[in-house]
Structure 1
């Protein structure tokens, strides 16, 4: 099994003594490393272009705070399946202020819904955690593990925002 620390050791060994590192380099799941690097680069480009902020601001301009809260949770979950949950949470929380200002949506309920929605998708194989699980799976099981984690992560990107919105945001209206 390949662990994150082992990958770092492989890089150091390769730089220090390339002859002794030949076997270690072959055991790294380079396709997973490249996948994570590509996704991180893509999300970084989207963030630099302002895509995430634009989406958030577009949702913030919606007149219905309940609908806006649901859309923020959905957008956050989808983006978090490919990026850092903490980073996306930090970017989206300030965008929730317009919904919180009119009192229809409670701060605690919305933050809980947002945090849970963003966190449960971390097992997506396009996210760091899911990619590490996929990389540590035996070679012959990797396609199955990748597929199962992809189904789980993407289904959670839809199910979790709806469920957390219904449990934590909607009751404030009732």
Structure 2
């Protein structure tokens, strides 16, 4: 992580990682709205949207997931390097892939924060926003992260958000507090 001295109008990439239906995208869009209302330049690079465009050619095997995050990480790094606060809600199940994105940011002197949206798989399966858990149970889907494909929990994230104990607004406030604490926003 690169911490900027004092309050600044500098960019940062905030990678929100967690299981499918953990609440990553909801939190990202709530924070983005608050940041825009405060006059900040902000982008949300949602993993699902990126899969339909930037990474439409990729599969969901380990290599495809790694390449997907590499592409999104590159885009986020360029935006953050140019003063944008970039919120990246993606599953990003593998530590190696997340570490590669962090390294790229570090090498370019660009700020990077990792946030683990820590929602138990049982809660994610109840939410099942996209119907993935139902498809997996019905045998229509394999390789679901946290069920039959691994999710490597971040070892030292900059923030852990346990969404089962908080509302989406409270979770967004935790992330806003981190951005203030790290002096990316006032």
Q: TM-score, normalised by structure 2?
A: 0.35
Higher relative contact order (CA 8 A, sep 6+): 2
Q: TM-score, normalised by structure 1?
A: 0.37
Query: Which has a greater percent of strand?
Result: 2
